[in-house]
């Protein structure tokens, strides 16, 4: 009787052992996969290319390449959003920046000379006093004043502002207002030049070489500024 119970107990233990071994084989078995605590079975071979490391399943899966790492994929999106939010700067070519700056300096120099000649009533060098070219007739005519202000002084004020607006530093500025003021100033300037040309040719009947040089410089600055705005645009309005 005792031997029969003992044999049945051994048979039951053998069945439980076989069941446990079968369950272990289904959960990982000899393939060497990690057990429930995240550690690989001792002596089990590790599959090539598989990183066995304790940690979050999502990070381990991302290391194996099974699923994309969400944290890593978010960084490029944030970079793109930051780039899109940054204001774009309208930058004209370097040659255009320096050409306009040099022309503005030249216009400022001529305007200073005309202003000095106006208040000292001195003769303009290299300018005739008769015929179509008559600088004195032009600079002393009633049309040499606008709203009681000498045209030479108005030209001087315009070119003082133009030197700053046409400088390379202003061209590279990200402030939209600077580019708008530059564009508006040359539009007003070319309109004033057209009025002065009309006055010289049809009212006074003479032209001034120095005045004509200022008119030509203003016209070229107008062309360069308009071409730059049309070709390269203006900086976008900065977001608050």
Residue-wise pLDDT for 160-206, tens only, equals 999 999 999 999 999 999 999 999 999 999 999 999 999 999 999 99
75 lies in some domain: yes
- Strand, helix or coil at 146? strand
The CATH number given to whatever domain includes residue 170 is 1.20.1440.130
SS3 34: strand
60 and 173 together in one domain: no
Using the Cα atoms of residue 155, residue 158, residue 164 and residue 167 in order, give the sign of their dihedral. negative
With respect to residue 110, please indicate whether it lies within any of the assigned structural domains. yes
Backbone angles phi, psi at 38, to 5 degrees: 90, 5
Residue 22 pLDDT > 60: yes
Interval 56-76 mean pLDDT: 48
For residue 120, CA distances in Å to 107, 117, 139, 171 come to 20, 5, 12, 36
Q: Answer yes or no: do 204 and 173 share one domain.
A: yes
The pLDDT assigned to 115 comes to 95
Residues 219, 170 within the same domain: yes
How many domains in the chain? 2
Q: Does residue 113 fall inside a structural domain?
A: yes
For the chain, how big is the Rg over CA atoms in Å? 43
Please indicate, yes or no, whether residues 147 and 71 belong to a single structural domain of this protein: no
* Domain extent for 73: 52-85
Instruction: Please check the confidence at residue 49 and state whether its pLDDT lies above 80.
Output: no
Whether 188 is covered by a domain: the verdict is: yes
> Which secondary-structure segment (H or E) carries 149?
strand 149-150
Same domain, yes or no, for 191 and 226? Answer: yes
The whole-number pLDDT of residue 25 equals 58
Q: Does residue 189 form part of some domain?
A: yes
In angstroms, the CA 46 to CA 49 distance is: 9
* Structural domain contains residue 3: no
**Do 119 and 221 reside in the same domain of the chain?**
yes
My answer on whether 165 and 207 are in the same domain is: yes
Q: Is the pLDDT of residue 215 over 80?
A: yes
Q: Are residues 199 and 175 in the same domain?
A: yes
**Residue 217: inside a domain:** yes
Is there a single domain that holds both residue 115 and residue 190? yes
On whether residue 26 sits in a domain, the answer given is no
Do residues 56 and 144 share a domain? no
CA angle 188, 194, 197 (to 5 degrees): 140
Residue 125 and residue 65 in one domain:
no
Please identify, among 61, 85, 109, the residue that sits at the C-terminal boundary of a domain: 85
Q: Where is the domain boundary, 39, 65, 85?
A: 85
pLDDT, tens digit (0-9, with 9 covering 90-100), for 81-114 = 544 444 455 589 999 999 999 999 999 999 999 9
Same domain, 157 and 66: no
Model confidence, pTM: 0.63
């Amino acid at each position: 009787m005792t031997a029969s119970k003992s044999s049945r107990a051994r048979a039951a233990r053998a069945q439980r052992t076989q069941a446990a071994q079968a369950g272990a084989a289904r959960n990982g078995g000899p393939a060497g996969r990690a057990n429930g605590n995240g550690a690989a079975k001792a002596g089990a071979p590790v599959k090539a290319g598989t990183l066995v490391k304790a940690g979050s399943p999502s990070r381990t899966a991302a290391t194996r390449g099974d699923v994309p790492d969400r944290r890593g994929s978010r960084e490029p999106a944030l970079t793109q959003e930051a780039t899109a939010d940054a204001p774009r700067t309208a930058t004209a070519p370097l040659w255009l920046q320096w050409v306009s700056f040099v022309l503005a300096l030249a216009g400022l120099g001529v305007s200073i000379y005309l202003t000095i000649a106006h208040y000292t009533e001195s003769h303009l060098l290299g300018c005739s006093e008769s015929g179509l070219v008559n600088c004195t007739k032009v600079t002393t005519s009633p049309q040499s004043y606008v709203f009681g202000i000498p045209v030479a002084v108005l030209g001087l004020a315009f070119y003082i502002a133009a030197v700053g607006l046409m400088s390379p530093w202003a061209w590279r500025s990200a402030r939209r207002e600077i580019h708008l003021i530059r564009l508006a100033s040359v539009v007003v300037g070319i309109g004033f030049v057209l009025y002065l040309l009309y006055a010289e040719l049809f009212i006074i009947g003479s032209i001034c070489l120095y005045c004509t040089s200022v008119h030509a410089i203003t016209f070229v600055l107008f062309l360069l500024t308009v071409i730059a705005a049309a070709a390269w645009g203006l900086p976008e309005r900065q977001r608050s």
